[in-house]
Amino acid sequence: MRTTLALSLFMAAAAGAAHASSDDAWAEFAADVKAKCIEAAKPSFKTGKVAVDPFGSESFGLAVVSGELKSTKGQQAAVICVYDKKTKKVEIGSELGSDVIKVTVPKKK
């Protein structure tokens, strides 16, 4: 009986710790995707905002960077950013303007 109780308590504690570290790992992952995507998109945008898919796909982190383009005054656009989970490298797609996708940039809080 004691062994069963001890094992149950251990399993409950381990599950809580795993959940906490998993949350921390996902937050760290999202922060890395955000930082690398904003850096990769810097040449295109005056200011950029990043919306990160919190988990991505099995192999890739995914994000959308949007903002005002450097090349044209006042024009908003977005790019898709793909983060390779193995290599931690990012690639940026081409600029998607308002004729392709509705782009809204969140206001600063």
Task: For the chain, 109 residues long, give each residue's pLDDT as a single digit of tens.
Answer: 454 444 444 444 444 434 445 889 999 999 999 999 999 999 999 988 999 999 999 999 999 999 999 988 888 899 999 999 999 999 999 999 888 887 666 665 5
CB atoms near residue 34 (< 10 Å): 19
- In whole angstroms, give the CA distance from residue 16 to residue 24: 12
- Can you count the helices (H) and strands (E) in the chain? 1, 5
* pTM of this prediction exceeds 0.75: no
Residues whose CB falls within 8 Å of the CB of residue 60, separated by 6 or more in sequence, listed in order = 82, 83, 84, 85
Give me the residue label for tokens 């988990």: 55
Four-CA torsion 48, 52, 58, 59, nearest 10 degrees: 20
